[in-house]
Chains A and B, each alone.
Chain A
């Protein structure tokens, strides 16, 4: 098991077991129709992340593959990407629930935005990393041929990579989108199912 997943599972478990009451509150929020609003926000942010992540990722990959980044920077990017790959959404949602249980006006009003900001960052981070990896595979001889004609890096990113690797790029987008969508649904279901079982068990005892 990769270490970020392990850590996030432990974190998730700890939050889950220590905040049963907050989960109940969270469900009541969902039931009151907040799910739709949050869902719409999530989709909007995810789309924004999608739009921003690809060109930025390609440019990041460009500077990476051209050797402008040192090994230390690559490691830092790797760490950041792993950090972004944590299942932040459920963690943040549960933290929100925990804070709500304390009835803090400040957190109640700001946390929904925070939750989906985190989700957006995670989406962005993943797409950036994936597209930069894709670009780093672009052959240097081809890139040089473009450069020799005066094509700038961003033009190479937008035309060159698109023309040369569009099928692979579409594949990356579709796969990443599917994965994110499935994860989103998975965590939402888990957040709804687990607490309801908890409530049922608590209710019968």
Chain B
């Protein structure tokens, strides 16, 4: 099975501070890959390199090779707009555009990508809302404001906004961190369905969540990838002592 995303010898940093060292990883189709590790280990930096958000941070740079399936050129050679269309990202907090309606929020990606035809925008929005199971709730109030939504609804709408661009890969940065158990569970169900169409790379601090939904898990420590493999293997029979120490809570 050929990977959707292939990362080779990725190093990244901020100015003189190196945050990632020589990471190589493959993201397989139909999979959820969880990136785990203590705070500051580089997992979010890694995630942000995948859609080139990292290089837009102060002093941010990266070296190495990132390849996306179906493209003859590396990610570095693509325009940022193209990268962001192909590699969607959802943040820890919803980050909806306040003062805008549900429709405007969800069509923003299409508009930004120059696909601002109303019919196409409606198609994209319906597709995205159905994917996150919010179509019935919002189909009759697409033009209402997003300012009074619950954090769970807002996060699912953020996911829908990203999905409206129909990305090849989905990046999730602690997507359930601020959600109650009901929405967290709903999000996980949505992710399980989505992974069939686009592989998901997810940063999480919850080992339980990684254990529940991730097919593969990568453990980061001090900017290095210590170990990566099937989640079952990582949690039950880790190859590295450091991984075992982290999983069993004996680290630090």
Contact = CB atoms under 8 A, between A and B. Distances in A.
A68 B56 CA distance: 9
Contact of A141 (B58, B84, B95): B95
Interface in A123-148: 141-142, 144-148
A148 B59 contact: no
Contact of B113 (A145, A146, A150, A164): A150
B97 A148 contact: no
Interface residues of A, number: 17
A147 B84 contact: yes
Interface string A145-167: 11111111001000000011000
Interface stretch (B21-29, B85-93, B127-135, B229-237): B85-93
B140 interface: no
A67 interface: yes
A152 B81 contact: yes
A66 interface: yes
Nearest to B90: A148
Contacts, number: 61
Interface in A64-110: 66-68
Contacts of A150: 80-85, 109, 112-113, 165
B112 to A, nearest CB: 4
B57 interface: yes
A68 B15 CA distance: 11
B162 interface: yes
Interface centre among A67, A68, A149, A155 (most CB of B within 10 A): A149
Nearest to B93: A141
A66 B53 CA distance: 12
B105 to A, nearest CB: 10
B45 interface: no
Interface in B53-102: 53, 56-59, 80-85, 88-89, 91, 93, 95-97, 99-100
A142 B97 contact: yes
Interface residues of B, number: 28
A149 B99 contact: no
Contact of A148 (B51, B57, B96, B113): B51
Contacts of A145: 91, 95-97
B108 interface: yes
A157 to B, nearest CB: 13
A144 B91 contact: yes
Contact of A163 (B57, B93, B99): B99
A66 B59 CA distance: 9
B93 A149 contact: no
A141 B96 CA distance: 10
Contact of A142 (B89, B95, B112): B95
Which of B51, B84, B99, B100 has the most CB atoms of chain A within a 10 A radius of its CB? Answer: B84
A148 B99 contact: no
Nearest to B87: A148
A69 B53 CA distance: 18
Nearest to A164: B99
Nearest 6 interchain pairs by C-beta: A67-B58, A150-B84, A150-B81, A145-B95, A149-B109, A151-B112
27 contacts: A66-B56, A67-B58, A67-B59, A141-B91, A144-B95, A145-B91, A145-B95, A145-B96, A147-B56, A147-B84, A148-B51, A148-B53, A148-B84, A148-B91, A148-B162, A149-B84, A149-B112, A149-B161, A149-B165, A150-B84, A150-B112, A150-B113, A151-B112, A152-B81, A155-B112, A163-B99, A163-B100
